[in-house]
Amino acid sequence: MLLETWQYLMEHPDRFSDALLTHVQLSISALLLAAMLCFPAAIVAVRRERLALGFVNVANVLRTLPSLALLALLMPLLGTGFAPSLFALTLIALPPLLTHSITGLRGVDADLVDAAIGMGMTRRELLFKLQLPLALPTLFAGLRTAAVQVISGAVLASFIGGGGLGDFITAGIAGMSMAQLLVGAIPVALMALLADYFFGALQRLMTSPGLRA
């Protein structure tokens, strides 16, 4: 079976490289957009309990929506192609990033925050010298979760013309071709594992030695 998969890949190298590039672009772009939205939102909500609760509730609602249903809901509004797929994947990445960001920043020990304020730290210093360093493990846990969900969810982009490795998977299922299916499925699984390992390593690197201990 793996030999047949390799042969199919060698017969369609350009198609595979284009699908892989599209899949990577979709995944990275969705993660970046979600991070650009979630991190500032968490910083704003860190001192506002009602706002933080509202953000978490919105994230929980988005979390309950199945990925395929989300794509189907967006089709009448945004059409098909790369852009609506990117929008849908960004929504998929929002819940873990937003909840982990808010939880991490608000989970910093209140006594430490009070002590830092008592020492004369400004809000900016408090955020960048205390809260963010202590919240980094939780923030990166959210990134790891979001990355895996986005990479796997990008497979469904093929249903609305977004491209990516999902084209091989859907075509393989439709044509009962296991080799074609594996050409798409194996790289997606490897990418998800690599993303989890990468963000895990980055989490350990960015976490202070005292917290690692």
Residues 36-90 pLDDT 10s: 998 888 888 877 878 878 888 888 777 777 776 777 777 777 777 888 888 889 9
pLDDT for 129? 78
For residues 70 and 115, give the distance between their C-alpha atoms in angstroms, rounded to a whole number.
45
Of the candidates 61, 129, 141, 60, the residue with the CA atom closest to the CA atom of residue 104: 141
Task: Decide: helix, strand or coil at residue 142.
Answer: helix
- At 208 the three-state DSSP class reads coil
Q: What is the mean pLDDT of residues 6-34?
A: 86
The yes-or-no verdict on residue 189 having pLDDT over 70 is: yes
- CB burial string 177-210: b at 16+ within 10 A, e below: bebbbbbbbebbeebbeebbeebeeebeeebeee
Other beta carbons less than 10 A from residue 119's beta carbon: 9
In this predicted structure, the answer to whether residue 175 has a pLDDT above a threshold of 70 is yes
For the cut 70, the answer to whether the pLDDT of residue 107 exceeds it is: yes
Please say if the pLDDT value at position 25 is more than 90. yes
Question: How far lies 179's CA from each of 11, 15, 83, 169, in Å?
Answer: 12, 15, 29, 10
The CATH number corresponding to 2-212 among 1.25.40.10, 1.10.260.40, 3.30.559.10, 1.10.3720.10 equals 1.10.3720.10
Query: Mean of the per-residue pLDDT values for the chain?
Result: 83
